[in-house]
Homo-oligomer: A and B are copies of this chain.
Amino acid sequence: MIAEVFDSPDDAVSEIAEGATILVGGFVSAGTPSNLILALKRSGQTDLTAVANNIGLGDLLDELCEDRQLARVIATFAIRASGGRKSRFESLYHAGEVELELVPQGTLIERLRAGGAGLGGVLTRTGLGTMMQDGKQVLELDGERWLLERPLRGDVALIKAWRADRLGNLQYRLAGRNFNPVMASAADLVIAEVEEIVEPGEIPADQVGTPALYVDRIVQCEPIPVRWEG
């Protein structure tokens, strides 16, 4: 259960299998594991399903579309409603070369949380009476209608934190948490990119954002800043 420290992001992602489902933490520029994403690109692995908040918003996840490594994307932001330069993903999507499952953000995080927390699903009002209801079970309880949303898990989670200790505890900075802590709970193999690795105890116990038991691999990398210009 002690996390393993890797020397390079390429080594850390080297065992990701063809066809794997990859949870990718981050929200646009915040808490995004860009080094791990680029390592996954270099690995050349294909037929992947990526689960992420966004693709094509300045994020490097869009780079995985260059060599068509993604078969399927589950995301909340993927196709812009307004104009502007198309992302690689959008071009592939419109060409029918990648599948998209668009999920409301609050539903995506609850499905992931259910996957990590051993729950069989949650009931939400979000999506009732919309396209998101298609193919899903609706329960009527005490006169109220609820959409049943099922758990979502990954084979691998790629996450980003500020610091890790050698046990695998992670500390986030500012708004860098977003999807990372929940995704760390919902995958079989959790790989964390961090800016610094410290000794156990250096991250105060009440400032641990992801407890060590969730983290399998850590790799220290210079963060790659990304920015969405809208």
Contact = CB atoms under 8 A, between A and B. Distances in A.
Interface in A198-220: 205-207
Contacts of A118: 124-125
Given A206-B174, A206-B207, A207-B206, A121 B150 contact: no
A122 interface: yes
A167 interface: no
Contacts of A172: 206
A80 interface: no
Interface size classification for chain A: 20 to 34
Contacts of A125: 118, 120
A186 to B, nearest CB: 15
B119 A173 contact: no
A146 B121 contact: yes
A32 to B, nearest CB: 18
Contacts of A174: 205-206
Contact of A123 (B122, B124, B144, B207): B122
Contact of A139 (B120, B144, B146, B205): B120
